Structure 1
Amino acid sequence: MGKAAVAVRKDEGFKFCANEPSILGEPWVAMYSTSEPVPFDKSHFEKAMLYIIREPNINSTAILRADILSEQNYEVSKEHKLLDSKETTFELNDPDAKMINIDDMTLRHVPLSDSLELVTKHEAVRRIIPRNPYKDALMNQTCLVMNSTKYDDTSLIIYKPHINKEDLCPFYIPHVDAVAILLHEKTLSVHYIPFEDDSSDTTATVEKTKNEDDEVSTTPVNVRPHKEQLFDESERVVRTAYRLLQTSFKHSKGIMQGYEKKVNHDQVVDKVKFQDRYTNLKKKYSKFLVESWVESTDPKKHVFEDIGIAAFLIELWIKIYGEDYKTKMQFRDLGCGNGVLCYILIQEGINGIGIDARQRKSWAIYPQGVKNCLKEQVIIPSILLRPHPEVRKRMPHIQHNGGIFPVKVAHEYIAPATIIYSSQDLLKSPQVNIAEYPKDTFIIGNHSDELTCWIPLLGYPFMVIPCCSHNLAGQRVRYNNTKRTSKMKNSTYAGLVDHVENIATKVGWTVEKEMLRIPSTRNAALIGYENESLGEFPTKTVYESLIEEGGADGWIQNTMALTKRNPRGH
């Protein structure tokens, strides 16, 4: 090989050393290395790399996840004793997804120099699932963690795709036969084994395609030049080596500094089931929704966010009610807004109704069956209109509490006036929804604003995703985050989430919390479906909570005023 071309990137202290002989031996090529001793040790490096093996999306936004098909652990010694072994089967239920050699689950090995005396500590075969499996193919890959029996501080990570030709490589991995990340003598480095040249062409061309998430996929048409030709820093495959070094260094240093994840996903619903459901729903509905968008808001944010929520809800309902969940429950989406979530769920064959104070332009684009399930109504919980349960026991014929609610209105042609609503009028009004639903109802509060704190008090299983902070009177407030152990900073949003959870717990709900995988910073979902008082609401504790929250005086007036405002977009 030719003389090494060395360039140090001063900002991070990484040097380009392609075409130098690799310490790993032939046919490896050294790509990048750190120019100063790294601050972390082998344990930090291996913990970080094992995490990245399980979460390859850290290295590429085009990757959704990895499914670990098999893994083995060995004793690091010359005897190389097998300690444990595990295999897992994952279903492939989408015939339209692209796939490359996914039946090949045989562990791959690579040539290595004897100088480091390396033995395998951990080996795994993973299946990489791309974010868009209709553009980029699923493929299997061997991942090895190797230690030296000669050097205590040496660790090597190897990635070997189950592919024999460069032109089969998906966009999201380096187009090389194998990748190695080596920690040796306090130096971190990246090495490649190029594919053998099987073409007389000395240049490679690519085709670029854009998928529905605007991710650019690059598919090789011809293979890259023969491995003896010098690598160039301008090549994509070389830039990828730099990013691999960057990521490995950053995460290893983070582990050394005691970094802990601030957000833990997949606490309630299995990640694989959610992501597979999301991919399926995205394929079915995203194109129509994005192309037909009539609101002034960003279609991609709202469409992909609601697809994610729909995927989560469906898997949650399967977990709660079983595979036949559609026969056991129905939903009410309170504050349904543009109706995207309702559209997806109803199209999936789930019975339900979306309710909002104002009709949206989007409602017009849906099929008639969906339009029929979207209701323009204001929501006034019946606890504000019905007699107290003790009164109803003594006088069951009384259906309303006799309340009178003055609402001031203004009109450009008449003087300001006051409309008087009675509880009896509101109970009978077709424009008012009093939140009394069939027993099998599940309530959704997807960024439902003023309704957020009310939802746990209504007496039905629920999922609420808090957004804007309001009290039970519908007024803007700020709640403090009282949980000292919470990893969410003490922001208005953290305080709201904490407060809604407290309300739900007080009235008997066992609350589960999930940080949803959606494109929104307000992605905390609070879920309650177990309550010993289910079917007995409003309970004594609900009335006590109303008092503790300062009552709901003004809710009816503020709610009726919503019909006079333009709807908000989130």
Structure 2
Amino acid sequence: MNALGAFTVHNTVMDLPIRLKPKEALVPKPTLSNAASDGSTFTPPEAIGERFSPFDLATAPKIPCGLPPEVWTIVQSAPACFPPQYFLDVSRNLLENPNLTASHLARAELSYQSFADPTFNPEATTSGDLASIVKHLRPECQPRLVESGVDGFELQWTVVRKLIPRNPKLDSALMQTCHLFTSARDVTITNSNGKEEEAAAERYLVVYIPNVESPEEIPFYHPTVRSLCILYTYFPSHAPDSMLPSPGILSIHFDFFPSHPLDNRLERTALMLLQIIHKHSKGRQAGYKKRVHHDQIIPQKRFQDTYAYLKGKYAKTLIEGWVEQTPPEKHVFEDLGIAAFLIELWVNMYGGEQGIENQEVQRCNAQKTFPGFVDIGCGNGLLIYILKEEGWSGWGFDARRRKTWTTFPQEHADSLVEMLLVPRVLLPDAAAPDDNVVRNSPPSHNGVLPQHTFIISNHADELTPWTPLLASLSDSPFIAIPCCSHDFGGTRFRSPVHKKYIVEDPNATGKEKNKQPSAYAGLCSWVCHLTERMGYDGEKEHLRIPSTRNIAILGRTRKSGLDGKTLEERLQFAREVVEKEMGGATTVEQILLTWMRSGGELVKPGKGGH
């Protein structure tokens, strides 16, 4: 048993216990009647601390933080009313996700963590004595202790992390030591009039120490301080007549460099940090659950590292040379993100053993065995240019040539073809199409590709529902990133909703639970349905791109259906699927006529399209 006693508060992120001495039960929420004596209704007053509202430090209650006041300065504080486990959950989550508090950061990589280290010694007085592995770490990765100590607190865990910036060319990475200290000692509270009050308290102190020697080594995204700490003081026996306005107090403290005293920027940074911690702690208390989960297919680190590399190599040139009327930043950063995802996806798929330590070797192996890609409805062709520049073979086509195509080097411009897709599925006699509508159409492709060609369907609109069907004809893997909903005839419509593929909002309450899915959610569910209908084991990923249309649906592996079937048998099955999805009363011939009319509109100047 820990010296602090038997009371356990669980950190639900890793379910690791933090032990404190027994306390009274948490203060129950006050109950207020919803009806006044005259029968009218009223809204109960909101408890102090429910919303973030910082104190005026001149009148705020003073609570000892355990750190020497001659070294540490309180910068901001605010009332709070959530139990401590939510503060602990948020603190643990922020260890690997500092981007929640600083937009210039991508993530953090943990170099050392004590959670599962049996040699961790919380009573160590030197860094080398903290754990047996410390002496084997590089000097910059070794944890730093709080030089002045923390009176009355006990160390619970230590983490050394590397803060990774979004733009490595602009900001450098930073090693940082993080500690959690806890205390269950009673504290003396002092109000603005000097009145003192003794109270039972639980204190949780998270200390962040940049592993630097001077302020010049600290990047822009980090406060220019020697150390900072967040203190949450919780009073489990808080009474309404106490001098404290709420059962919890959040505060932030800085240890300044002599050359960098408190300024407006540091004050605003401290305020923002407290506000974010308060917001996320209240959200967890309310039962908030994350609805969107990124990095299900490609690990965050690999994607972000590749994206940062591509962004540094291409972004500036592409933005400066933009010739379309659309905003360059959105398209450039979006396609760079998609390219980063595809590159890492293809390394996984074609690079051989995942255990190869040298990523360049694995990438070279992948490019040697890569079957090539085709981007259907390639638009401005930017994605094709980036992928080919990075050594991935492929081409693309679109119904209408774009201005951007002329800005690419000739070897890449030659990979962009102006043509319509006229799916062979719709042609009654694919070998010799003598239908007048088809014969008089612009140059076209029938959608039958070399076997295993990787199909990219990026916001391809009219081509989106066709993507799984085209892939099935050539036994090809594919990625579809839906945008606007069209039926198999190329006509705008609201896609049918397939609830099997709809992810319910875990935070929805009341009427929100029965709310109809959005048109975009319905479209994605339909594409997932078509993917499975064509025998693929569908996967879904929320891409890290600057677009609300960021869901990628992948078909990489086949689980049933068309294995061993001839092309004609696959075509016939696809025709049956198309007719059924179009309602059953519309023939393939009628769908072809509608498709060709839609295609004719796409090739007109000034029109968008696939």
TM-score, normalised to structure 1, is 0.79
Aligned to 1:13: 53
Do 1:73 and 1:85's aligned partners in 2 also have CA atoms closer than 8 Å? no
Change (3 A) 1:114 1:356: closer
Matched with 1:549 is 581
Give 1:535 shift.
7.4
How far apart are residue 379 of structure 1 and its match? Answer: 0.5
Give 1:113 shift: 5.8
Aligned residue for 1:70, secondary structure, equals: strand
Deviations 1:232-281 (A, max 9, x none): 5xx21111111111111111111111111121000011110110100111
The reply on whether 1:448 has 2:465 as its aligned counterpart is no
Contact map agreement 1:504 1:511 (CA 8 A) in 2? yes
Quick one: structure 1 residues 103 and 521, their matched pair in 2 at CA, closer, same or farther if it must change by over 3 Å? farther
- C-alpha contact 2:109 2:163 (8 A) present in aligned 1: yes
| Equivalence map 1:533-544=2 (5 Å) | 533=562, 536=565, 538=570, 541-544=573-576
The 3-state SS of whatever aligns with 1:349 is coil
Which residue among 140, 162, 167 is the counterpart of 2:216? 167
Aligned mate of 2:206, from 138, 157, 165 = 157
Alignment of 1:86-105 (within 5 A): 104-105=140-141
Partner SS, residue 536 of structure 2: coil
Name the counterpart of 1:347.
389
The DSSP-based 3-state class of the residue aligned with 1:560 is helix
Give the match for residue 308 of structure 2. 279
For residues 129-148 of structure 1, the aligned pairs below 5 Å read 129-148=164-183
Ranges in structure 2 where 5+ consecutive residues have no aligned partner = 1-47, 125-129, 187-200, 235-247, 352-361, 506-515
- Offset at residue 156 of structure 1 (A): 1.3
Cα pair 1:339 1:374 within 8 Å, conserved: yes
Cross-structure match for 2:74: 30
SS in 2 for 1:133: coil
Secondary structure at the aligned position of 1:14 is classed as: coil
> Do the aligned partners of residues 337 and 75 (structure 1) sit closer, same or farther apart at CA in structure 2, a change above 3 Å counting?
closer
CA drift at 1:150: 3.6
Q: Is the 8 A contact 1:70 1:86 kept in 2?
A: no
* Higher mean displacement: 118-127 or 269-278: 118-127
2:373 touches 2:455 (CA, 8 Å); kept in 1? Answer: yes
CA apart distance, 1:16: 4.6
Distance change (3 Å), C-alpha of 1:56 and 1:357: same
For the 8 Å contact 2:458–2:481, the answer to whether it is kept is yes
CA distance in 2 between partners of 1:168 and 1:520 (Å): 35
Over 3 Å counting, the alpha-carbon distance change for 1:449 and 1:138 in structure 2 is same
1:254–1:67 distance in 2 versus 1, CA, 3 Å = same
CA contact (8 A) 1:120 1:146 kept: yes
Instruction: Give 1:106's aligned residue.
Output: 142
Equivalent in the alignment of 1:318: 347
C-alpha displacement at 1:288, in angstroms?
1.2
CA contact (8 A) 1:22 1:191 kept: no
Q: CA deviation at 1:58?
A: 0.7
Q: Which amino acid aligns with 1:325?
A: A
Question: 1:191 matched to which residue of 2?
Answer: 253
Q: Superposition pairs for residues 243-282 of structure 1, below 5 Å?
A: 243-282=272-311
1:336 to 378, 395, 405: 378
Answer whether contact 1:481 1:491 (CA < 8 A) is retained.
no
d(CA) in 2 for partners of 1:352, 1:261: 37
Specify the alignment match of 1:522 in structure 2: 549
Query: How far 1:442 moved relative to its partner?
Result: 0.4
Tell me: CA distance 1:158–1:437, structure 2 relative to 1, closer, same or farther (3 Å). same
Per-residue CA distance 1:334-391 (angstroms, 9 max, x = gap):
111111101101111111111000000011110000110000000011111254xxxx
- Cross-structure match for 2:495: 479
Distance 1:306 1:75, change over 3 A: closer
Secondary structure (helix, strand or coil) at the match of 2:457 reads strand
Letter paired with 1:128: L
- For the residues of structure 1 that align with 2:280 and 2:383, how far apart are their CA atoms? 37
SS in 2 for 1:473: coil
Cα offset for 1:284?
A: 1.1
Deviations 1:23-65 (A, max 9, x none): 232211111111x3x2211111110111111100111111111
Are residues 1:437 and 2:464 paired? Answer: no
Question: In the TM superposition, what whole-angstrom CA distance separates every residue of 1:65-105 from its partner, at most 9, and x where no partner exists?
Answer: 111111112799x98599x99999xxxxxxxxxxxx98500
Distance 1:12 1:79 in 2: 37
In the TM superposition, what whole-angstrom CA distance separates every residue of 1:164-212 from its partner, at most 9, and x where no partner exists?
21122110011111111111132111111112x2xxxxxxxxxxxxxxx
Deviation at 1:430, TM superposition (A): 7.5
User: Retained in 1: the 8 A contact 2:485–2:523?
Assistant: yes
Distance 1:272 1:364, change over 3 A: same
SS of 2:253's equivalent in the other structure is: strand
Q: CA RMSD in A?
A: 3.1
Alpha-carbon offset, residue 434 of structure 1: 1.0
Q: CA deviation at 1:440?
A: 3.2
- Mapped contact 1:355–1:376 kept (Cα < 8 A): yes
Q: Is the 8 A contact 1:338 1:363 kept in 2?
A: yes
Q: Which residue of 2 aligns with 1:219?
A: none
The 8 Å contact of residues 540 and 551 in structure 2, kept in 1 or not, is answered as yes
* Counterpart amino acid of residue 302 in structure 1: H
1:504 equivalent to 2:531? Answer: yes
2:227 to 175, 178, 187: 178
* Matching residue's letter, 2:551: A
Contact 2:399 2:609 in 1 (8 A): no
Contact in 2 for aligned 1:15/1:32 (Cα 8 Å) = yes
- 2:107 alignment partner AA: R
Change (3 A) 1:340 1:187: same
Contact 1:293–1:362, Cα closer than 8 Å, also in 2: yes
SS of residue matched to 1:12: coil
Q: Distance in 2 between matches of 1:132 and 1:79?
A: 37
CA contact (8 A) 1:21 1:29 kept: no
Q: Is the 8 A contact 1:455 1:464 kept in 2?
A: yes
Whose strand proportion is higher, 1 or 2?
Answer: 1
* CA distance in 2: counterparts of 1:251 and 1:493, whole angstroms: 28
* 1: CA distance, partners of 2:271 / 2:219: 19
Name the structure 2 match of 1:125.
Answer: 160
Cα separation, partners in 2 of 1:86 and 1:266, compared to 1, 3 Å: farther
Taking structure 2 as the reference length, the TM-score comes to 0.74
Question: What CA distance in whole angstroms lies between the structure 1 residues aligned with 2:466 and 2:143?
Answer: 55
Relative distance call for 1:569 and 1:292 in structure 2 (3 A) is farther
User: Are the equivalent residues in 2 in contact too, given 1:63–1:172 (CA < 8 A)?
Assistant: yes
Q: Give the unaligned 5+ runs of structure 1.
A: 1-7, 89-100, 198-222, 226-230, 388-397, 405-419
CA distance in 1, matches of 2:138, 2:602: 55
The one of 334, 344, 363 equivalent to 2:405 is 363
CA distance 1:85–1:447, shift in 2 (3 Å): farther
- For residues 391-402 of structure 1, the aligned pairs below 5 Å read 399-400=431-432
CA distance in 2, matches of 1:510, 1:29: 57
